[in-house]
Amino acid sequence: MVVIERSLDEPVYEQIARQIRECVASGELSPGTPLPTVRVLASDLGVNLNTVARAYWMLEEEGFIRIRDRSGARVAAPARKPAGDRERLRQELRETLARLRQAGFTSEDLHRLVEREIASLADGRDK
Amino acid sequence: METRIIWISFLVLLGVIGGFYFLFPRISRSGLLFGVYVGEEVSKSEAARRITRSWYLGMALWLAAAVALALIMGLQYQSVPGSSAALFLLPLGFLEEYLRAYWRARKLARGRAAPLAAAVILTEEPKPLFLPYMAMGFGLVGGLYSIGYAWSHYAQLPDLVPIHFGLLGQPDSWRPRSFSTVMMLPTMCLVMGVGIAGMAYLIGQAKRAIRYGDQGVSFEAQQRFRRIMANFLAIVSLLLTGMLTILSQSSIEVGLRRAQALSPAMMMLTLILVIFALAGSIYIAVRYGQGGSRLEKSAADRPLTDGLADNRLWVLGMFYVNRDDPSLFVERRFGLGYTINFGNPEAVALLGGFIGLIILIAIIAKFAS
pLDDT higher than threshold 70 for residue B312? yes
Residues A6, B121: C-beta atoms closer than 8 Å: no
Say if CB B51 and CB B107 are below 8 A apart: no
Residues B99-139 have pLDDT tens digits of: 999 999 999 988 777 788 888 887 666 777 899 999 999 99
Q: Does B212 contact A at CB distance below 8 Å?
A: yes
For residue B118, is it within any domain? no
Domain count, chain B: 2
* Stretch (H or E) spanning A69: none
CA atoms of B357 and B198, how far apart (whole Å): 14
Say how many residues make up chain B: 369
Q: Does B217 contact A at CB distance below 8 Å?
A: no
Burial readout B137-163 (b: 16 or more C-beta within 10 A, e: otherwise): ebbeebbebbbebbeebbeebeeebbb
Which residue of chain B comes nearest to A4, CA vs CA? Answer: B117
Residues B325, A6: C-beta atoms closer than 8 Å: no
A20 interaction partners in chain B (CB closer than 8 Å)? 121
Residues B226-272 have pLDDT tens digits of: 899 999 999 999 999 999 999 999 999 988 888 888 888 888 888 89
User: B75, B109, B143 — which closes off a domain?
Assistant: B109
Residues A34, B125: C-beta atoms closer than 8 Å: yes
For residue B356, is it within any domain? yes
Residues B59-108 have pLDDT tens digits of: 999 999 988 888 887 777 777 777 778 888 888 999 999 999 999 999 99
Q: What pLDDT does residue B143 have?
A: 94
- B353 min Cα distance to partner chain A (Å): 22
Q: Does B8 contact A at CB distance below 8 Å?
A: no
Q: Which range has the top average pLDDT, A69-83, B214-228, B322-336?
A: B322-336
Q: What pLDDT does residue B1 have?
A: 62
Q: Does A20 contact B at CB distance below 8 Å?
A: yes
Mean pLDDT of chain B: 86
Determine which of B212, B219, B324 to mutate to test the interface with A (most A C-beta atoms within 10 Å): B324
Give the Cβ contact number of residue B366 at 10 Å.
Answer: 9
User: B74, B109, B144 — which closes off a domain?
Assistant: B109
CA atoms of A103 and B66, how far apart (whole Å): 71
* Stretch (H or E) spanning A73: strand A72-75
Residues B118, A33: C-beta atoms closer than 8 Å: no
Residues B290 and B218 in one domain: yes
Among B116, B118, B327, select the one facing A43 at the smallest CB separation: B327
Domains of chain A: 12-75 (1.10.10.10), 83-126 (no CATH)
pLDDT higher than threshold 70 for residue A122? no
For residue B46, is it within any domain? yes
pLDDT higher than threshold 70 for residue B318? yes
Q: What pLDDT does residue A123 have?
A: 66
For residue B120, is it within any domain? no
Residues A48, B208: C-beta atoms closer than 8 Å: no
pLDDT grade for B12, boundaries at 50, 70 and 90: confident
Residues B119, A44: C-beta atoms closer than 8 Å: yes
Which residue of chain B comes nearest to A28, CA vs CA? Answer: B123
For residue B342, is it within any domain? yes
Q: What pLDDT does residue A51 have?
A: 94
Q: Which of residues 242-301 of B touch A (CB under 8 A)?
A: none
Domain range for B28: 2-109
pLDDT higher than threshold 90 for residue B149? yes
Residues B210 and B163 in one domain: yes
Q: Does A75 contact B at CB distance below 8 Å?
A: no
* Stretch (H or E) spanning B294: none
